[in-house]
Chains A and B, each alone.
Chain A
């Protein structure tokens, strides 16, 4: 089965600083990869998804960006963080062979101060 790794687990960053969150996937190949953000007590908001290396689709206009330099690596970045970027960020992986059941990583809790 798939294992999703995310780091760091928690992060406190000042407004205006850059961001880089990394997600790697084990136990599968050519997955669809997703970045979600979850505000406190709320559902998951899809930020980006990728169906392959270098293929990124953005769902919400914002100051965040994503990249997929390798098949099982997905990176979420920002050049300048905003207070509103605070939240719980989840990476997920899904494959057609498994009916696109989403496997989630442990998440990164980001606090922008």
Chain B
């Protein structure tokens, strides 16, 4: 059964801390791994990773994929209260159709 597992499920940190969110997957015909940030409504896209070992970076956020370990991490440095959200990992894979499976998400709370 295809699955995507995220850890931790929830996390509380203080402003300025660095956090690492984890995503592991078991799918057939992997195509890409996507990270999303969800605040109050629809998820917003952060990164798409297709190649192992290549870091994607946007400001204080960065992510890297390890295809050998079937996992990815999302790092957030110098966290701010505005980083508080649910971070969703999704894996896109193909099998006669194009499917995406989401993990349960990591709820991050950044306190002042």
Contact = CB atoms under 8 A, between A and B. Distances in A.
Interface of A: 32, 34, 36, 41-46, 49, 51, 57, 90, 94, 96, 99-107
Nearest to B6: A43
Q: Which of A45, A94, A100 has its CB near the most chain B CB atoms (within 10 A)?
A: A100
16 contacts: A34-B100, A41-B86, A42-B104, A43-B88, A43-B105, A44-B88, A49-B99, A94-B100, A99-B32, A99-B50, A100-B92, A101-B48, A102-B34, A102-B45, A104-B42, A105-B42
Given A44-B88, A102-B43, 20 more contacts: A36-B102, A41-B86, A41-B107, A42-B104, A42-B105, A44-B90, A46-B101, A46-B102, A49-B98, A49-B99, A57-B97, A94-B98, A99-B32, A99-B48, A100-B31, A100-B92, A101-B45, A101-B48, A102-B45, A106-B42
Interface residues of B, number: 26
Contacts, number: 61
- Chain B at the A interface: mostly helix, strand, loop or mixed? strand
